[in-house]
Amino acid sequence: MQRDTYDSDHEDFRQAVRAFIARDVQPHHGRWENEGLIERTAWEAAGQQGLIGIAVPEEFGGGGTPDFRYRLIIMEELAAAAANSFNAGLSVQDDLVIPYLVDLGSQEQKARWLPGLCAGTLIGSLAMTEPGTGSDLRSIRTTAVSSADGWILDGQKTFITNGMHADVVIVFARTNPDSSNAAFSLFLVDTLSEGFRRGRKLEKVGLRGNDTAELYFDQIHLPREALLGVEGAGFSHLMDRLPRERLAIAATSLAASSAAFEWTKSYCFERKAFGRPVGDFQNTRFTLAEIATELDFGWAFLDRAVHLLNAEELSAVDAAKAKWWMTALHQRVVDQCVQLHGGYGYMLEYPIARAFLDARIQPIYGGTNEIMKEIIGRDIADRTRSQV
């Protein structure tokens, strides 16, 4: 299907992204995967090329262009290069941390953090999940207690993307822990703060090059101005920004699925079995036809969702639909593509093998797909009842 999503400016940007990846990502990506950490120089190079903070106002070091299609191009090109770990890290920076600061930060907070985040000289992370809570954020135990001159933050977080590199962490914490109606707030934590420490760099099945960590906040004394947004409104702040996060996850899955399909098409018509290309067997053609059709439907839905996001009209329900369906499609596509590669699909020297491993987290983070279906189902129930 021919997409008409992009104009000439977008395509010029795509060429710049491809040049950056060829120069600063692909020569090092294998080593990052083996070492479990992406070098900070890659972040700085991305910042120098203007690939981070595209939507951030120019006064704070960004590109001043709030058009999510530019982010989508970066996702597509990194996926095509099998650089899924860097894709995940940049998404946390650009689709979570930076928008929280742009939307909720004071002028002082924006001036302190945004220029470095856009330049790639600073790396950010978002700390919500805790051991034993998973997607149940109302059960978190991390607390921020008001003190005479600020806050005392105490607790721990886990599964934190960019955790080992992070210079600033947005922390979700309880701010009235003794109340039966617990309120939650967000805090900006400088990782140089006394009482902050990093735990293990977690060993994951996929996205091996992306650092994921345990973080500890041991009675950290935060200044009053560390509060991000409105005190007690932390949960609503999260809910308001989840549609963008979930759309970014959906977009990453669709880009990765398309990349896997491109590699597999090429392989099927290069590899021969029983004297003819694998792609000439009917079963192979049927599988390729199914994948191609589902990807076309996926891109049509995603392009519409991106249009809604740019217009600030993307609903939580539409984002949930995109997230669950495209991440589920991602699982089917990479599984079928591994099968079509045969034994070579199980070898890590082939990008499809890493793509298979990298894909599995997509239906889990950002809210599990079971939660996405509950959001959609609850909306259906509410609408139906209102019509009865």
- Residues with catalytic roles: 245
How many other C-beta atoms can be found within 10 angstroms of the C-beta atom of residue 121?
A: 14
SS3 193: coil
How far is the first Cα of the chain from the last one, in angstroms, to the nearest whole number? 40
Residue type, 256: A
DSSP 50-89: T-S-TTS-GGGTS-----HHHHHHHHHHHHHTT-HHHHHH
| Long-range pairs for 240-245: beta carbons < 8 A, 24 or more residues apart | 241/96, 241/99, 241/100, 241/103, 242/316, 242/319, 242/366, 242/367, 243/309, 243/314, 243/315, 243/316, 243/318, 243/319, 244/68, 244/95, 244/99, 244/309, 244/314, 244/319, 245/95, 245/96, 245/366
The torsion region of residue 206 among left (phi > 0), alpha (psi -120 to 50) and beta comes to beta
Task: Give the DSSP H/E element, type plus range, for residue 157.
Answer: strand 150-161
Q: CA of 305: how far to CAs of 262, 323, 327, 333, in Å?
A: 24, 11, 15, 21
Smallest CA-to-CA distance from 295 within 266, 269, 259, 270 is with 259
**Please, are residues 279 and 356 in contact by the beta-carbon 8 Å criterion?**
no
